[in-house]
Structure 1
Amino acid sequence: MQMLRYFLAAVAVLMLAACGGTPSANGPQPAGTTVPAPTAPGATAAPAPAPTAGAGAPLVVYHKSGGIMGLDDTLTVNADGTFTLKDRAGAQSSGQATAEQLGKLNDLLNSMEFAAASPNYPAAGADMFVYKVEAPAQNKTVTAMDGTDYPQVLHDIIDVLESMRAQVQ
């Protein structure tokens, strides 16, 4: 019964988050944001440099919850590749990402596919995992559930993060 309450609460949060709008180029913008100027037809804008995490900011925070066993793990990966896994009991373990993991993770987080991903991929059902990927440097959070069709880039990010989780479990 308690799992059902958690699941319903998670679905409600996802539904509320999905109701949020996206500011338009002509509407008011939050403080500190800029709207890119339109370019002339046929002109190409120079790509913006890929954002990177600052020295004190995490590269990504990955939260995996749900499932039949009530998993609730948070993996925080820093820009230098160090990471910490915290479980629902509060136990922590640390590790170091390989250069390959860190490079692939950076490439995926800075990809156009991740930038284009919707913030929510909800599904209905019981005992599903919920995956939340927060990328502070990209100002992007994506939440997905098992049983939904979320983009391949999110599958790839989760695969890298799951390989890091496996290193310290």
Structure 2
Amino acid sequence: MTSPVQDFLDHTSYLGRVQAAPSWITGKGTILLISMEGEEFFGIVTEAGDHYLPDNLPQSLSVDGIRVTFKGIATEPTPGVLMWGTWLHLLSIDENGEEFTSSGTVTFIDLEGGFFGIVTDAGDHYLPLDLPEEYRIDGMRVVFTAYETRDAATFAMWGIPVQLASIAPFNQPFGTITGSWYLTSYNDGEALRLVLPGTTISAEFGDNGTITGTSGCNHYYGSYKLTGTTIAVGPIGSTKMYCSVPVGCMDQESTYYHLLGTVAAFSLKEGHLQLLDGKGRELLVFSAKNQDLFQESGSFLEYSRTGGFAGFDDHLTIYSDGTASVKRKESERTIPIDPGTLSELEILLDMADFALLKEQYTAAQEGADYFSYSLTFAGKTVTTEDTAIPDLLVPVFNILDEIIGSSAPDDVIPPLPG
């Protein structure tokens, strides 16, 4: 038996759109003025990147760039109306406070069961409503960006309630992101995925707050704003070309634009720029070096295996066109590589988060007959040796060793005839 209120909601039409079973939507996001096909309207983009089009947004909140907390019911779009996001009938919506950046110490407050707060260097007390688990460490120094939510209902009578936009360890250097960066991997919703071979995605951060670059097919342009380790990018404009090669480049470009518009913080580490969401999760990983140098020459990956009891000296270069060059001491030959093998290698390297691996893995103990390995992919080289190979690279090395072995089973005899 349903309640009268639920029965009403189950059969109420909002602007002519009937929703048989309401889908409740709650979240936090930013009001944005959207221009599409000659029309302008206000939508909500959440911190997770979801798009909602409210049919009853109050005039007082129809302001580009303000942050809100909202609750509503998903509805069906009116036929002939622009398709942008999920249609939403708002039940409540409130403006969040202004963003601010500060530094302080995470502190465990032993009141009412215990909770974590942040005491700033100025002595202010803030109660983060969404402090990530990894930051719930008493005494941890942090820098954070947040906005006040004084009307939030909390059980803790301590500090000012805030929603975090970003948070990072205090000893993380801010550094500068000004200059050219080249995308190596991006978040596909489940894990970091390497940029498609044969594509280059770049970002040029100007010291005047502009961002320009290439996105694999088109050129784009926009603006960005930094506050401490917090970054906001957008809006983004681009040229309107269509590219069919390589397959998937347009989907990759669309994902890149979406992620770029939702970043909230940045981190600089070992020559890489990581753009993060508000929870500190990696969305985009860039390198200061052009990762497409090998792809421009047609190379997909380069691999070498040297040493061992017999003094091996094997080198393998796999090209994007599906051919490979195998060198074993004095012999060399060109062989074809099955497309399925190429695809499997790319998937395995993606799963290994190759762009984020260390550049060197050394064995804990020396071995006279150990093999030494070098693998270059997407402009990055990783070297290692027996007993120190990262687990996720083992299946990659097995495939590459098999390719070498099948082209010439012994490096003291000439390779097999073609």
TM-score (norm 1): 0.68
Alpha-carbon deviation of 1:74? Answer: 0.7
Q: Deviations over 1:62-106 (max 9, x none)?
A: 0100011111111000112200111222x2111111122111111
Larger Rg: 2
Aligned to 1:97: 337
Alpha-carbon deviation of 1:115? Answer: 2.9
| Paired residue secondary structure (1:102) | helix
What is the correspondence of 1:2-21 to structure 2 with a 5 Å cutoff? none
| Paired residue secondary structure (1:110) | helix
Aligned to 1:62: 303
- Structure 2 distance, partners of 1:43, 1:116, is 14
| Paired residue secondary structure (1:120) | coil
Aligned to 2:349: 109
Residue 47 to residue 63, structure 1, CA distance change in 2 (3 Å): closer
State the structure with bigger RCO (CA 8 A, min sep 6), 1 or 2: 1
What is the correspondence of 1:130-141 to structure 2 with a 5 Å cutoff? 130-135=372-377, 137=378, 139-141=379-381
8 Å Cα contact 2:275-2:282 kept in structure 1: no
Alpha-carbon deviation of 1:134? Answer: 0.6
8 Å Cα contact 1:95-1:167 kept in structure 2: no
Aligned to 2:407: 168
In the alignment, which of 367, 375, 393 is matched to residue 125 of structure 1? 367
Where does structure 2 lack aligned partners over 5 or more consecutive residues? 1-171, 182-202, 204-272, 409-418
Q: Which amino acid aligns with 1:131?
A: Y
Alpha-carbon deviation of 1:127? Answer: 1.3
Alpha-carbon deviation of 1:30? Answer: 9.5
Flag the structure with higher strand content: 2
Identity of aligned residues (%): 26
Q: Which amino acid aligns with 2:404?
A: R
Residue 28 to residue 128, structure 1, CA distance change in 2 (3 Å): farther
8 Å Cα contact 1:81-1:97 kept in structure 2: yes
- Structure 2 distance, partners of 1:118, 1:44, is 17
Q: Which amino acid aligns with 1:141?
A: T
Aligned to 2:164: none
Where does structure 1 lack aligned partners over 5 or more consecutive residues? 1-23
Flag the structure with higher helix content: 1
| Paired residue secondary structure (1:134) | strand
Q: Which amino acid aligns with 2:324?
A: F
Residue 66 to residue 29, structure 1, CA distance change in 2 (3 Å): farther
Alpha-carbon deviation of 1:144? Answer: 1.2
- Structure 2 distance, partners of 1:30, 1:157, is 35
8 Å Cα contact 2:274-2:284 kept in structure 1: no
- Structure 1 distance, partners of 2:178, 2:314, is 32
Alpha-carbon deviation of 1:131? Answer: 1.0
Aligned to 1:74: 315
Residues matched between the structures, number: 140
RMSD, aligned α-carbons: 3.1
Stretch deviating more after TM superposition (104-113 or 77-86): 104-113
Q: Which amino acid aligns with 1:85?
A: V
Q: Which amino acid aligns with 2:343?
A: G
Q: Which amino acid aligns with 2:174?
A: N
Q: Deviations over 1:1-48 (max 9, x none)?
A: xxxxxxxxxxxxxxxxxxxxxxx8633679632635553348884799
Residue 46 to residue 38, structure 1, CA distance change in 2 (3 Å): closer
| Paired residue secondary structure (2:295) | coil
TM-score (norm 2): 0.30
